[in-house]
Structure 1
Amino acid sequence: MQTKTAAKKVTRRQHSNASKAEVVAACRQPGATIASSARQHDINPSLVRCWLQEWLRWSGLTLSGW
């Protein structure tokens, strides 16, 4: 006889602006990569990339000027 277990509901995490800024600042350090910064903060690299793009748009900088 098999028993059924209740499926665990997966919820999305909410990240504060302060935590986003911390991750973006970590990515901007010399020699840092998006992947390593994401791994340090247990976040998907594609999410960090989105935050970086958002920061670049907000700051008015370009990747070449960064």
Structure 2
Amino acid sequence: MNEAVFAEVSMLVLLTGLIVWMGFIVWDLARKSQAGRFGTIALFTILGAGVVGFIVKTVLVEIMQI
């Protein structure tokens, strides 16, 4: 396994873990603050927009390289 393959695999695995961890943090924040259903949805929507933006950017970069 060369360095480029290792970097790609570790990026996918660790980034997925980070996204899952951030989802848990948002869920815990909503639960501890007693945000309710609407507040929890708002937290996940607004804070999840950054994750969605990162994923869209990655997909667009891969499409542009073809």
* TM-score, normalised via structure 1 length: 0.29
Question: Highest relative contact order (Cα 8 Å, sep 6+), 1 or 2?
Answer: 2
Q: Which has the larger Rg?
A: 1
* TM-score, normalised via structure 2 length: 0.29
